[in-house]
């Protein structure tokens, strides 16, 4: 428990950009990462939703969900790298992960989701973290929401931990509750391991869209999602 507290304190220090007087940034980062030698049993499958020809939801100004998903996922990956969290990214660029040689869009989309599913299930002690954006017909709705593999207490626990980290650090006014997945979320509905999907915000809400397109805000929400993941992983 002491090591976990030290690591979380170190993460907060790094995120805040507060470095010790008289020491270089590199020296301070080395001190911070020295706290992160943890024997974690899980490997995070970091899934940036959509990609390639599948743009996901599209905002009124043309912003594509796939691009925001990738930016936030890559930022989370940066924290994983820095603190030695085992992870496997589903994609790090704007690509589909479907099999080659498929001709129809339907075939490629099906192959893409099945390949993501296989990666999760073929990785021992995997934990799925899938990053997406929300969209609704009414623009008034906003806020991060976390879905989890229904019927799995560990997935519900992870969803709750991420939600608490995001709300406490970034969105104190957010009242959106965690929810079990329906069959519309294939990866979670069929999951055989701890799995959550984070809808970071609503592309249909103009104010939230502008935040999600801002690199500083992307860094913030990535940090708090990471913090929730870290709290979960270090208690397993």
Rounded average pLDDT over 135-142: 96
Same domain, residue pair 17 and 83? no
Q: According to the model, what pLDDT value does residue 9 have? A: 58
Given this model, what pLDDT does residue 12 score? Answer: 58
CA-based angle 172:44:63, to the nearest 5? 60
Mean pLDDT throughout 15-37?
43
Q: Rounded CA gap, 56 and 135, in Å?
A: 10
Is residue 30 located within the same domain as residue 110? Answer: no
% of the chain at pLDDT higher than 90? 80
Q: Do 156 and 129 share a domain, yes or no?
A: yes
Q: What is the pLDDT of residues 149-188, one digit of tens each?
A: 999 999 999 999 999 999 999 999 999 999 999 999 999 9
Average pLDDT over residues 128-137: 97
Q: What is the mean pLDDT of the chain?
A: 88
38 or 195: which leads in pLDDT: 195
pLDDT value for 163? 98
- For residues 141 and 96, state if they share a domain: yes
How many domains does one find in the chain? 2
Query: Do residues 3 and 75 share a domain?
Result: no
* pTM, full prediction: 0.87
Q: Are 75 and 24 contained in the same domain?
A: no
Pair (139, 88) in one structural domain: yes
Tokens, residue 91: 């994609």
Higher pLDDT: 167 or 8? It is 167
Considering only residues 35 and 109, tell me which one the structure prediction assigns the higher pLDDT: 109
- Return d(Cα 77, Cα 86) in angstroms, integer: 10
Do 204 and 9 meet the contact criterion of CB atoms below 8 Å apart? no
In 10 A of CB 34, how many CB atoms? 10
- Same-domain status, 87 and 164: yes
CATH number at residue 100: 3.40.630.40
29 and 94 housed in the same domain: no
Q: Which domain holds residue 13?
A: 1-37
CA 9 – CA 73 distance, rounded (Å): 22
- The reply to whether 111 and 174 lie within a common domain is yes
Mind spelling out the 3-state secondary structure of the chain?
Answer: CHHHHHHHHHHHHHHHCCCCCCCCHHHHHHHHHHCCCCCCCCEEEEEECCECCECCCECCCCCEHHHHHHHHHHHHHHHHHHCCCCEEECCCCCCCCCCCCCCCHHHHHHHHHHHHHHHHHHCCCEEEEEEEEECCCCCCCCCCEEEECCCCHHHHHHHHHHHHHHHHHCCCCCCCCCEECCCCCHHHHCCCCEEEEEEEEECCCHHHHHHHCCHHHHHHHHHHHHHHHHHHHCCC
Phi, psi of 170 (to 5 degrees): -135, -35
Model confidence band, residue 31 (pLDDT cutoffs 50, 70, 90): very low
Whether 50 and 4 map to the same domain: the answer is no
Same domain, 31 and 57: no
Average pLDDT over residues 42-58: 96
Average pLDDT over residues 181-206: 96
Contacts of 216 (CB under 8 A, 6+ apart): none
d(CA 54, CA 20): 45
| Mean pLDDT within 23-33 | 44
């Amino acid at each position: 428990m002491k090591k976990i507290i030290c690591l979380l304190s170190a993460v907060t220090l790094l995120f805040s950009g507060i470095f010790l007087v008289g020491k270089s940034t590199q020296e301070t980062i080395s001190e911070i990462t020295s706290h992160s030698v943890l024997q974690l049993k899980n490997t995070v499958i970091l899934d940036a939703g959509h990609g390639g020809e599948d743009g996901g939801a599209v905002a009124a100004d043309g912003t594509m969900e796939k691009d925001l998903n990738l930016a936030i996922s890559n930022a989370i990956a940066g924290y994983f790298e820095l603190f030695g969290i085992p992870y496997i990214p589903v994609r790090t660029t704007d690509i589909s992960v479907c099999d080659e040689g498929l001709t129809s869009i339907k075939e490629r989309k099906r192959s893409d989701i099945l390949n993501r599913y296989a990666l999760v299930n073929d990785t021992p002690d995997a934990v799925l973290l899938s990053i997406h954006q929300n969209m609704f017909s009414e623009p008034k709705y906003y806020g991060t929401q976390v879905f989890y593999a229904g019927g799995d207490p560990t997935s519900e626990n992870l969803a709750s931990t991420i939600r608490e980290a995001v709300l406490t650090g970034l969105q104190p006014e957010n009242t959106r509750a965690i929810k079990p997945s329906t069959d519309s979320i294939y990866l979670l509905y069929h999951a055989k391991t701890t799995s959550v999907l984070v809808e970071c915000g609503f592309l249909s809400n103009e104010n939230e869209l502008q935040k999600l397109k801002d690199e500083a805000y992307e860094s913030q929400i990535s940090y708090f999602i990471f913090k929730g993941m870290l709290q979960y992983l270090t208690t397993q």
